[in-house]
Structure 1
Amino acid sequence: MDQTWQSLKGQFLMAMPGLADPNFYQSVTCLSEHNPKGAMGIVVTRIHPEVNAKMIFDELRLPASAGAIKIPVHIGGPVHMNELFVLHGAPLVWEGSMMITEDLALSNSRDILEAIASGHGPEAFIIALGCAGWGPGQLESEIRSNTWINGPYSEEIAFRIEAERRWEAAMQMIGIDPALLSDTAGHA
């Protein structure tokens, strides 16, 4: 394995302005896995315009609290669009939870969905349909070609501020003013 290779698991991946793909334009993806075999993450900046959590709970026949209709469903990425993923903070004890960091996990088991439906799930969470995925070396190549920039994960950005403000906030967190970025890829 390349000695300079470094995992970005648990970090944010922010789209550079030149990334015109509508799945990722001005997006922030929380990388839940990154190893030499590829990478996977959940886009935290795209709210599904036609689906809310109550619709999902109804389809799964899960009794839901009245507030479930207000829980947005995110478009987690263009891969596995029919699968549900829950990116969440504590508690981290759900069946099949994949630990991302010591404070963040990705789950897609029925028990976490039941808990969220009844209002007893994690305090901080995102329900997403689909995920983002990259094959071996693909993400590294895209970063080298100035498609993405990575930065530290922030619970505040991932879960607390409005989805449409997350990209700008993540860029500012690493000292970049998005208004000053060029949308032309290249290297100096």
Structure 2
Amino acid sequence: MSQTLDLSGKILIAMPDMGDPRFSRSVIVICAHSDEGAMGLMINQPSQGITLADLTEQLDLDTNDGFRDLPIHTGGPVETERGFVLHSQDYASAISTLPVTEDLALTGTLDILEDIALGQGPVQTLVLLGYCGWGPGQLESEIAQNAWLIGDAPFDLVFGTEDARKWDKALVNENIDILTLSSTAGHA
């Protein structure tokens, strides 16, 4: 079995002619990648009509004065009822937190939402429902078909850029001019 290039901690930037409309202009942080597949979270697709306040109420979580309401994002089309929090590395769940990059971590357990509701969570957070998943070799195949560009996942892109601008900013960060992108892959 060939060793897969580990894309954990990188971002995927959808090509302009992405065939699947669910991923049009999407930016995805790859949280885990191995020969067994990949898991990532879309960071630029806010959900319509649901906020963190709605979620804390639905889960019957106590909040205090330190609570700040946030938009909920669509992390991807897989298990859309399952929640994840992509956050700064200043927080670690007592149950399970996965380091993603030097600056980013992922927690998918209820305790982080309880801590956020009490104003004791990470300084920077993206709360997401659902995730993007790929089986063995599937992501590599999509990259070979020119569906995705690979880039770095800088902290300011994830947390310091408006959702509507993240795709453009991700391209700029990689020194790619949208006008020069081609929808066909070249092979020498």
Deviation digits for residues 137-180 of structure 1 (CA, Å, limit 9, x no counterpart): 00000001100010111110001110110011011101101233
- Equivalent position of 1:49 in the other structure: 48
**SS at structure 1 position matched to 2:2:** coil
- Could you say what the CA RMSD is over the residues aligned between the two structures, in angstroms? 1.7
Answer with 42-51 or 95-104: which moved more. Answer: 95-104
Give distance in 2, aligned partners of 1:122 and 1:185.
41
Give distance in 2, aligned partners of 1:135 and 1:37.
7
Moved over 6 A (4+): none
- Structure 1: gaps of 5 or more residues: none
Q: TM-score, normalised by structure 2?
A: 0.92
User: Shift of the alpha carbon at 1:124?
Assistant: 1.2
Preserved CA contact (<8 Å) 1:92 1:104: no
Give distance in 2, aligned partners of 1:147 and 1:42.
16
User: Shift of the alpha carbon at 1:185?
Assistant: 2.9
- Structure 2: gaps of 5 or more residues: none
| 1:25 aligned onto 2:24 | yes
User: Shift of the alpha carbon at 1:57?
Assistant: 0.4
**SS at structure 1 position matched to 2:126:** strand
What letter is aligned with 2:106?
L
Preserved CA contact (<8 Å) 2:86 2:125: yes
User: How many pairs does the alignment contain?
Assistant: 186
Give distance in 1, aligned partners of 2:132 and 2:66.
28
Give distance in 2, aligned partners of 1:161 and 1:86.
17
Preserved CA contact (<8 Å) 1:44 1:163: yes
Give distance in 2, aligned partners of 1:163 and 1:128.
13
**SS at structure 1 position matched to 2:21:** coil
- Equivalent position of 1:76 in the other structure: 75
**SS at structure 2 position matched to 1:132:** strand
Preserved CA contact (<8 Å) 2:66 2:118: no
Give distance in 2, aligned partners of 1:61 and 1:32.
29
Give distance in 1, aligned partners of 2:23 and 2:138.
15
Q: TM-score, normalised by structure 1?
A: 0.92
Deviation digits for residues 22-43 of structure 1 (CA, Å, limit 9, x no counterpart): 2210010000000000000000
Preserved CA contact (<8 Å) 1:32 1:41: yes
User: Shift of the alpha carbon at 1:56?
Assistant: 0.5
Give distance in 2, aligned partners of 1:122 and 1:101.
15
Deviation digits for residues 35-57 of structure 1 (CA, Å, limit 9, x no counterpart): 00000000001000111001110
- Equivalent position of 1:130 in the other structure: 130
Answer with 68-77 or 53-62: which moved more. Answer: 68-77
Answer with 39-48 or 103-112: which moved more. Answer: 103-112
Deviation digits for residues 4-39 of structure 1 (CA, Å, limit 9, x no counterpart): x31000001110111032221001000000000000
Give distance in 2, aligned partners of 1:118 and 1:180.
47
Preserved CA contact (<8 Å) 1:146 1:186: yes
